[in-house]
């Protein structure tokens, strides 16, 4: 996620802004910049790279004003480079803006502003905001920002300074967090508490669509209708370490709790007036109809997302799909050519096995579509088409929110292909899109019910081995549930197709063996009931994950029933993985494992 900071007071702003941005580095970023009010001009210094590069660039500049804004950018729209870095300035140079979030209607606003004569320098959605505020600015910055945010769709946390206002700057937010630090003769804004803890522990938390006018000795807050809002001061007693995790004990839990927001960021901008609109993908109907088979190639969690993708794309778009581990694909002399589409999935966009598999496929003439979380990463740059998952930086080694958004991206691709090929009717298409849009709320509900999962984990963290079983999409899901448990709790685990147990593995089930059954697929429900009875008869303890509607029946046969809202079976994996992630997390915490940095593992495997 991007990081925003702002300062107004008696001190020189630049070093305060830089040090505050350093406290937000843990959020992940690829470029940085500041804008400082210097006597009667705005000085903007920004560049690609780490804060050290910005400090070096600042070293040669005279930047001594005492009001400014700063930004660390996690790229979503536009490659990481100097031009796309924030702050962005309006054409007249009078308005500078820093932004965290995604403006979903930026193309429409960009066209409107270009028609008004505004010239754009960058590829970002943010630049629209700088020109829009200038367009509305008639001498009152708060009013101009208010009118502008009322035209924005999407998520934003904004810091805005103006060349004509030497005694205040403005902040606003919707969906992306923003706090106001209240000092003595100085005030701050920041995306997160760590940035201002050394200056003050008294803050206002800005609510959605609130606008703040911040001067040295005063902070006034308004709603988006212009009415002043009274705020309670909140005193922060966190230490810095817990503040970086926004109060969560681990980044992994924080990232699981970000799933509703990042799913919204990934899905909503791509569903417009009942249609899937995939930015970054240029595959027309003729090209689609010429595809004989799709290969999905990835590693680890991304591979497990690919297995779900196979079921979805085949069911909706009726195109045969083969899923490969990247480390196998690149050496097996794959039968692949220009009649194939290869979908590469990678959170980091740097996994070496996956990158080399991409090159192998390209060498053989296949078209490449990648699903990546890091803008401008090696895999993104070498692909013909890229659909970004806007999950923000994933700090914990165990992938969670990235997996949910990878699934969402695969569903969007399957719906887009199915709609282009006419393999599903309009009804099914709109029903599934509605289901996708409801998913963030469904996951929100699951997160509120985490205590049952936490309790069950506390009873089973000493397990020697845990089996995950399911059928169809639930089998694909079980693969990821099992990996999550293994990689952070170090407990042996296997994912098994429910129908396959009787062919050998059931010999391992004995008294007290924990079996996690994923049961979200209505059509295979009865078959899974038989599997539960099979393992129960051998002494297993059974935890089921299923839709709310199935709880009464499953309570009769299982030891623990964890429910998700009554989502359609087809989209269930995107929600049903969350209880599995939480279960793995709480087991690992009870075992005292290093949850965010498990032994032997790296966040991005850039070596073979």
Q: How far is the CB of 399 from ligand AGP (least distance, A)?
A: 4
Question: Which of 397, 572 has the CB closer to ligand AGP?
Answer: 397
587 makes contact with ligand AGP (CB under 6 A): no
Cα gap 17→190, rounded to integer Å: 10
Selected range binding ligand AGP among 25-33, 56-64, 117-125, 296-304, rule: CB under 6 A = 296-304
Cα gap 113→409, rounded to integer Å: 30
Question: Which of 518, 531 has the CB closer to ligand AGP?
Answer: 518
Question: Which of 537, 602 has the CB closer to ligand AGP?
Answer: 602
371 makes contact with ligand AGP (CB under 6 A): no
Strands 385-388, 367-372: pairing kind: parallel
605 makes contact with ligand AGP (CB under 6 A): yes
- Could you tell me which residues come within 8 angstroms of residue 273 by beta carbon, excluding any fewer than 6 positions away? none
> 318 an active-site residue?
no
Asked if residue 355 lies in contact with residue 382, where contact means CB atoms within 8 angstroms, the answer is yes
301 makes contact with ligand AGP (CB under 6 A): yes
| Residue whose token pair is 């990678």 | 346
- Paired tokens of 451: 């205590």
- Could you tell me which residues come within 8 angstroms of residue 537 by beta carbon, excluding any fewer than 6 positions away? none
* Torsion, CA 107, CA 109, CA 114, CA 115, rounded to 10: 120
Q: How many residues bind ligand AGP (CB under 6 A)?
A: 15
Q: How far is the CB of 213 from ligand AGP (least distance, A)?
A: 42
Q: How far is the CB of 401 from ligand AGP (least distance, A)?
A: 11
> 603 an active-site residue?
yes
Question: Which of 104, 353 has the CB closer to ligand AGP?
Answer: 353
Q: How far is the CB of 605 from ligand AGP (least distance, A)?
A: 5
Which 372-401 positions form the footprint of ligand AGP (CB under 6 A)?
397-399
581 makes contact with ligand AGP (CB under 6 A): no
Question: Which of 134, 360 has the CB closer to ligand AGP?
Answer: 360
Q: Name the nearest CA neighbour of 461 among 592, 265, 561.
A: 592
476 makes contact with ligand AGP (CB under 6 A): no
Q: Name the nearest CA neighbour of 467 among 529, 513, 527.
A: 513
The edge-to-edge listing of strands for the beta sheet with 514-519 is: 492-497, 465-470, 514-519, 541-547, 560-564
300 makes contact with ligand AGP (CB under 6 A): yes
Question: Which of 200, 604 has the CB closer to ligand AGP?
Answer: 604
Residue of the chain from 85, 148, 187, 351 that contacts ligand AGP (CB under 6 A): 351
The site string for ligand AGP over 164-203 (x = CB under 6 A, - otherwise) reads ----------------------------------------
Largest interatomic CA distance in the chain: 80
Question: Which of 124, 327 has the CB closer to ligand AGP?
Answer: 327
Cα gap 535→506, rounded to integer Å: 7
CA 179, chain centre distance (Å): 21
148 makes contact with ligand AGP (CB under 6 A): no
521 makes contact with ligand AGP (CB under 6 A): no
Q: How far is the CB of 451 from ligand AGP (least distance, A)?
A: 24
The CA–CA distances, whole Å, from 475 to 264, 484, 576 equal 26, 15, 12
Alpha-helix runs per DSSP H in 343-400: 352-363, 378-381
* Catalytically active residues, by annotation: 2, 603
Question: Site residues (CB under 6 A) for ligand AGP?
Answer: 299-302, 346-348, 351, 354, 397-399, 487, 604-605
């Amino acid at each position: 996620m991007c990081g925003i900071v702002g300062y107004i007071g008696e001190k020189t702003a630049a070093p305060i802004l830089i040090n505050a941005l350093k406290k937000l580095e843990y959020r992940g970023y690829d470029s940085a910049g500041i804008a400082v009010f210097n006597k009667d001009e705005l000085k903007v210094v920004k560049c690609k790279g780490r804060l050290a590069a910005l400090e070096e660039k600042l070293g040669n500049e005279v930047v001594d004003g005492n009001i400014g804004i700063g930004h660390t950018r996690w790229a979503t729209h536009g490659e990481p480079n100097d031009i796309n870095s924030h702050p962005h300035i309006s054409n007249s140079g009078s308005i500078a803006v820093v932004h965290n979030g995604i403006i979903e209607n930026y193309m429409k606003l960009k066209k409107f502003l270009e028609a008004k004569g505004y010239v754009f320098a960058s590829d970002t959605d943010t630049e629209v905001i700088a020109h829009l505020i200038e367009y509305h600015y008639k001498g009152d910055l708060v009013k101009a920002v208010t009118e502008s945010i009322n035209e924005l769709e999407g998520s934003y946390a904004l810091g805005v300074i103006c060349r004509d206002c030497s005694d205040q700057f403005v902040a606003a937010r919707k969906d992306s967090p923003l706090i106001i630090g209240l000092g003595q003769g100085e005030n701050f804004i920041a995306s997160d508490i760590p940035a201002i803890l050394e200056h003050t522990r008294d803050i206002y938390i800005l609510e959605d669509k609130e606008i703040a006018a911040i001067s040295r000795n005063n902070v006034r807050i308004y709603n988006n209708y212009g009415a002043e809002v009274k705020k309670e001061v909140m005193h922060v007693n966190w230490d810095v370490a817990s503040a970086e995790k926004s109060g969560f004990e681990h980044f992994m839990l924080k990232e699981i709790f970000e799933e509703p927001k990042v799913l919204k960021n990934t899905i909503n901008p791509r569903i417009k007036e009942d249609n899937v609109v995939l930015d970054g993908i240029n595959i027309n109907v003729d090209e689609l109809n010429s595809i004989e088979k799709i290969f999905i190639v990835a590693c680890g969690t991304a591979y497990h997302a690919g297995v779900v993708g196979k079921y979805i794309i085949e069911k909706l778009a009726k195109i045969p799909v083969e899923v490969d581990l990247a480390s196998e694909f690149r050496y097996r002399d794959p039968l692949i050519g220009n009649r194939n589409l290869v979908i590469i999935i990678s959170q980091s966009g740097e996994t070496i096995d996956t990158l080399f598999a991409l090159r192998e496929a390209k060498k053989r003439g296949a078209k490449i579509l990648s699903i990546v979380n890091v803008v401008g990463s090696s895999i993104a740059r070498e692909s013909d088409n890229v659909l970004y998952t806007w999950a923000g930086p994933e700090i914990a080694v165990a992938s969670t929110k990235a997996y949910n958004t990878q699934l969402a991206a695969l569903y969007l691709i399957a719906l887009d292909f199915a709609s282009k090929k006419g393999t599903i009717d309009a009804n099914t298409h709109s029903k599934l899109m509605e289901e996708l849009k409801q998913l963030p709320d469904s996951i929100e509900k699951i997160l509120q019910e985490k205590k049952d999962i936490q309790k069950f984990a506390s009873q089973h963290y000493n397990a020697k081995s845990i089996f995950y079983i399911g059928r169809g999409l639930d089998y694909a899901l079980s693969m990821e549930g099992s990996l999550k448990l293994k990689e952070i709790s170090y407990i042996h685990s296997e994912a098994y197709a429910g129908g396959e147990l009787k062919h050998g593995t059931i010999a391992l089930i004995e008294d007290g063996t924990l079996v996690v059954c994923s049961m979200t697929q209505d059509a295979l429900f009865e078959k899974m009931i038989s599997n539960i009875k099979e393992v129960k008869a051998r002494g297993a303890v059974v935890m089921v994950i299923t839709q709310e509607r199935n709880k009464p029946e499953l309570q009769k046969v299982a030891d623990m029933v964890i429910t998700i809202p009554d989502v359609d079976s087809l989209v269930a994996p995107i929600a049903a993985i969350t209880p599995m992630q939480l279960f793995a997390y709480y087991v690992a915490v009870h075992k005292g494992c290093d949850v965010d940095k498990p032994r032997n593992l790296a966040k991005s495997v850039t070596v073979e």
